[in-house]
Amino acid sequence: MGEAFIMNLGRESLMIVLMLSAPFLISSLVVGIIISILQAVTQIQDMTISFVPKFILLGVVLLASGGWMMSIMHDFTIRIIQNTSLFTR
């Protein structure tokens, strides 16, 4: 097991983490900005107002992209299991 193999595995793992977390982070950021603008316009300064819309949106994002996320994780896991012989060298 060479250094290049380990670096490639680490890079691929980080890319998968970024791909899988991006829909949640981007949607949460957009909703947070929209709610912050609405709070600034209406001068409501309550920190808890943004929690419920974010939770609802994150549930919708999970329902919409859950199949895609599972297929990415499934493919990565299968590749890891198939290459276990390379890890033990």
49-77 pLDDT, tens digit per residue, is: 888 889 999 999 999 999 999 999 999 99
**DSSP 8-state secondary structure symbol assigned to residue 79:** H
Q: Is the pLDDT of residue 7 over 80?
A: yes
* Per-domain boundaries in the chain: 3-83
pLDDT score, position 1 = 63
pLDDT score, position 89 = 64
C-beta separation of 31 from 50 below 8 A: yes
String of DSSP letters for 6-55:
HHHHHHHHHHHHHHHHHHHHHHHHHHHHHHHHHHHHHT---TTTTHHHHH
Mean of all residue pLDDT scores within the chain: 89
Helix 3-42 × helix 51-82 angle, to 10° = 170
Q: Fill in the amino acid letter for 36.
A: S
Structure tokens at 9: 């595995």
